[in-house]
Structure 1
């Protein structure tokens, strides 16, 4: 993360204005289309919303991306376990994985228009305060989404973490994949170095995103899936986002 120059403040402000305009124009369209068309068609509109924001932050803020491992995404539906550092990956992963749905906190569905759109696009909303109920909902809805051909993106650390930080990995992704017999794909990236969590500023640079080899949900135990996914993600993070030693 570089120095916050006047130019960065200006470009970040311009991006915020464009992002707000995109959301203001497309959110009612995406919501309306969700009531009037088949899911496959309305999903295309939601992807356009995400794609336009990625294009805006690329050209306005100079925030590019280098992606490795696209060939590791299987043709069948599965579970993606990803590092979570910013809002950027929620946009990019939606474009990389076919028919992406997210496991998200239920409170987001209450946000006017944006939350209503989320509710119409088959995402899996859970109450994180009720662990057993949340796990039951994930397994029930997750299996259904996988049968429908969706990829389910889970952030196993539960919330956004700053570069260099690590939280305990939850095991729900491995459990769902093992119960459903689907592959798990780990994802590592350093988006938080350029688009920090809860930050107005966006810094120019190149985000490095790596997609790992799939883990077989039919032959591996849930614990082994989670262990291997966490080990791979953290090993990649040490390479693409090395942090200076603390004094």
Structure 2
């Protein structure tokens, strides 16, 4: 039954995404306004989360909302699943996500990435990618948008310890903004290597913010420790 429910969700996802083709055309004819594109993206993502709940029985719970800064900030999160890429569009309206440029090969989705706009970087370009990430993050923050980055770089199984790749510490130092660590256990339900999605409740934990002003090394140590401690204590709530 779980496998059938997972297949049903995949069908719903395809249909729901197809329904947004006319929306894309309308937005394009209107000059692709950024706010309109982001609103459509949130509606699309919200529909997917509803579909997950209805077809698979997969929901989510939030805790620690009082830790969310009142001002736009840098958000860092562990990355276990496609789920959080979608959910953050709902959890943080107008968020600017740092994403890999390879995602531009996905039809339709790539258009939304460009027009939102998200912060798209070529990880192979080294220091050039870092400069682009910093400049576009500063621009997003100036517009009142929080910036989200997955410091691990790619999805990892829920059982693997958290280890950041280079870049996020430079972003922290350059931006001078508070950092909100967000821990998720989505990989227990929808993660790499899983043949189907499981019912249950994904835990989204907003941890103690990290203030600006630390050294890059101190920031990395504190951020990894916070997320790793939460990863170890975050047991899935299976249905």
* Unmatched tracts of structure 2, length 5 or more: none
2:140 aligns to what?
A: 145
Q: Residues of 2 paired with 1:74 and 1:55: CA distance?
A: 27
1:25 aligns to what?
A: 19
Q: Residues of 2 paired with 1:158 and 1:176: CA distance?
A: 14
Q: Is the 8 A contact 1:164 1:241 kept in 2?
A: no
Let me know the Cα RMSD of the aligned residues.
1.9
SS at match of 1:156: coil
**How far off is 1:198 after superposition?**
5.8
**How far off is 1:76 after superposition?**
1.0
TM-score by length of 1: 0.88
Shift of the 35–156 alpha-carbon distance from structure 1 to 2, 3 Å rule, reads: farther
* Unmatched tracts of structure 1, length 5 or more: 1-6, 243-247
**1:180-208 CA-partner distances (Å, limit 9, x unpaired):** 22111111111011112264511111111
Q: Residues of 2 paired with 1:134 and 1:227: CA distance?
A: 23
1:47-66 to structure 2, matched below 5 A, reads 47-66=42-61
Matched, 1:15 2:9: yes
| Runs of 4+, deviation exceeding 6 Å | none
Q: Residues of 1 paired with 2:178 and 2:25: CA distance?
A: 31
Q: Is the 8 A contact 1:104 1:124 kept in 2?
A: yes
Aligned length in residues: 235
Q: Is the 8 A contact 1:30 1:46 kept in 2?
A: no
Shift of the 167–233 alpha-carbon distance from structure 1 to 2, 3 Å rule, reads: closer
2:128 aligns to what?
A: 133
2:206 aligns to what?
A: 211
Q: Is the 8 A contact 2:13 2:48 kept in 1?
A: yes
SS at match of 1:162: coil
Q: Residues of 2 paired with 1:129 and 1:211: CA distance?
A: 31
**1:120-148 CA-partner distances (Å, limit 9, x unpaired):** 11111111112211111111111111111
Of 187, 190, 196, which aligns to 2:185? 190
Q: Residues of 2 paired with 1:183 and 1:220: CA distance?
A: 10
Shift of the 35–100 alpha-carbon distance from structure 1 to 2, 3 Å rule, reads: farther
**How far off is 1:150 after superposition?**
1.2
Q: Residues of 2 paired with 1:237 and 1:164: CA distance?
A: 9
**How far off is 1:177 after superposition?**
2.8
Q: Residues of 2 paired with 1:120 and 1:169: CA distance?
A: 28
Q: Residues of 1 paired with 2:65 and 2:105: CA distance?
A: 34
Q: Is the 8 A contact 2:37 2:115 kept in 1?
A: no
